[in-house]
Amino acid sequence: MASSKPTVFSGVQPSGQPTLGNLLGAFQPFVKYQDTHTAFFCVVDHHAITVRQTPEELAENTLSVAARYISCGLDPAKCTLFVQSHVSAHAELGWVLNTFTQMGELERMTQFKDKSLRHAQNINVGLFDYPVLMAADILLYNATEVPVGEDQTQHVELARDIATRFNNLYGPTVTVPKAIIPKAAARVKDLQDPTRKMSKSLGGKGTLFLTDSPAEAAKKIKSSVTDSLAQITYDPENQPGVANLLEILAALTHRTPQEAAKEFKGQQYGALKSAVAEAVVQCLEPLQDRYNGLMADKAELQNILRKGAEKARAVAGPTLARVMDKVGYARF
Ligand code: TRP
């Protein structure tokens, strides 16, 4: 059935503007998998609508996330890049898996609790059910590895539990996945409040967007919050701002934050900030050029996603059929 390569699946929501955190914690590390894994990358529009979206923006952002992936080095010929709603099996398997998930399990999800507070006027059933759809995404492609940020590991654990439960009841049917957290800059922090994750929804001066001009990006780095200890060491506990800058620099220059710290021994924070700003600008410029090129030819982008959905359906369809057969749906 499957090739000998492990299979990786991950998804990015087409909501809001992606940040440096998304680039270093998601896009860049995910792209590496396309050479070593059978890789599926999905723009999860069904997930995005659990928080109210402006219709024109949702469609535009869906293409934008795909362009973002490709501009970061993802090659649609080497992996499967597609839009979740283009493959109807996601919603269908999600429904089936609902019946293998307990209310209590979803009530325990910390992201649901957080989002319920933030979107108190729209605690819809989709927001509650979101992790089950995510389980469907993962299980449809027989994914063994799911690279995600720390905030999503609880959801992947749930997918494991659902998969195990199904297999225990019906015999081996679905692959039990596990979460992997990319090490480099898995959690880029807010530049103004380095105790908080950089967030696209909170925005502000502490969030560096991938759409920021090089001058804006450099300015945000240079006005980032550090501390008054006046020493460049990698100490996330006591020097979160400096640690954040070192992590960003390390991820962009492919070394460890400790190695980066050594280089700046005895120097002032200004020197570190300048180096980080330069590395960020050098990374952003070519990426923005590629991104703008892709977004200028929507028809081509749509073609790529259409082909991706076709490839995705060829894998998702048989999984859904296997599950429905086991459950006993009358299929003829
Ligand atoms: N919930 C993920 C997020 O917000 C996105 C996502 C949806 C996902 N389905 C997925 C991630 C499946 C990994 C695997 O970041």
Whole-angstrom Cα distance, residue 277 to residue 221? 6
Which among 149, 173, 145 is positioned nearest to 325, based on CA atoms? Answer: 173
Res 3: pLDDT? 59
Residue nearest to atom 13 of ligand 1 (CA): 10
Q: Mean per-residue pLDDT for 115-138?
A: 95
Beta-strand pair 38-43/145-147: unpaired
- Burial class (CB within 10 angstroms; exposed 0-12, middle 13-18, buried 19+) of 187: middle
Q: How far is the CA of 238 from the centre of ligand 1 (A)?
A: 32
Is 197 part of the annotated catalytic residue set? yes
133: left (phi over 0), alpha (psi -120 to 50) or beta: alpha
Q: Which amino acid is at 44?
A: V
Q: Which residues contact ligand 1 via a Cβ below 6 A? A: 9-11, 13, 44, 47, 134, 137-138, 146, 148, 152
pTM, entire model:
0.90
The mean pLDDT value of the chain amounts to 94
Q: What percent of the chain has pLDDT over 90?
A: 88
Q: Which amino acid is at 179?
A: A
pLDDT tens-digit series, residues 49-75:
999 999 999 999 999 999 999 999 999
Is 326 part of the annotated catalytic residue set? no
Q: In 207-223, which positions are buried (b, 16+ CB within 10 angstroms) versus exposed (e)?
A: bbbbbbeeeebbebbee
> So where are the chain's domains?
7-180+298-327, 214-292
pLDDT tens-digit series, residues 15-37:
888 899 989 988 888 888 999 99
Tell me how far CA of residue 143 lies from CA of 146, 164, 227, 238, in angstroms.
7, 14, 43, 38
Tell me how far CA of residue 325 lies from CA of 70, 96, 239, 246, in angstroms.
37, 12, 56, 52
Residue tagged active-site, from 5, 78, 113, 115:
115
Q: Mean per-residue pLDDT for 95-112?
A: 97
Res 199: pLDDT? 85
CATH no., domain 214-292: 1.10.240.10
**Residue 21 CA to its chain's centroid (Å):** 10
User: Length of the chain, please?
Assistant: 332
Model confidence at 246: pLDDT above 90? yes
- Burial class (CB within 10 angstroms; exposed 0-12, middle 13-18, buried 19+) of 1: exposed
Model confidence at 107: pLDDT above 90? yes
Res 184: pLDDT? 56
Residue tagged active-site, from 32, 200, 222, 311:
200
Whole-angstrom Cα distance, residue 330 to residue 306? 30
3-state secondary structure 299-328: HHHHHHHHHHHHHHHHHHHHHHHHHHHHHC
Q: Mean per-residue pLDDT for 296-304?
A: 97
pLDDT tens-digit series, residues 247-272:
999 999 989 999 999 999 999 999 99
Phi, psi of 49 (to 5 degrees): -75, 0
Q: Which amino acid is at 315?
A: V
Res 303: pLDDT? 98
Is 200 part of the annotated catalytic residue set? yes
Model confidence at 228: pLDDT above 90? yes
Q: Mean per-residue pLDDT for 197-216?
A: 90
Token pair 């790529």: residue: 304
Token pair 């992201």: residue: 111
Phi, psi of 82 (to 5 degrees): -155, 170
Q: Mean per-residue pLDDT for 100-124?
A: 95
Q: Which atom of ligand 1 is nearest to the CA of 130?
A: 1
Res 2: pLDDT? 47
pLDDT tens-digit series, residues 128-182:
999 999 999 999 999 999 999 888 999 999 999 999 999 999 999 999 999 998 7
Residue nearest to atom 9 of ligand 1 (CA): 134
User: Which tokens go with 44?
Assistant: 């999860």
User: Which tokens go with 297?
Assistant: 């030819």
Question: E strand or H helix at 16, and its extent?
Answer: none
Q: Mean per-residue pLDDT for 86-100?
A: 98
Q: What percent of the chain has pLDDT over 70?
A: 98
pLDDT band at 201 (very low <50, low <70, confident <90, very high): confident
From 10, 80, 106, 144, mutation site for ligand 1 pocket: most ligand atoms within 8 A of C-beta: 10
The domain defined by 7-180+298-327 folds into: Rossmann fold (3.40.50)
Q: How far is the CA of 177 from the centre of ligand 1 (A)?
A: 13
Residue nearest to atom 11 of ligand 1 (CA): 11
Whole-angstrom Cα distance, residue 156 to residue 137? 11
Q: Which atom of ligand 1 is nearest to the CA of 149?
A: 15
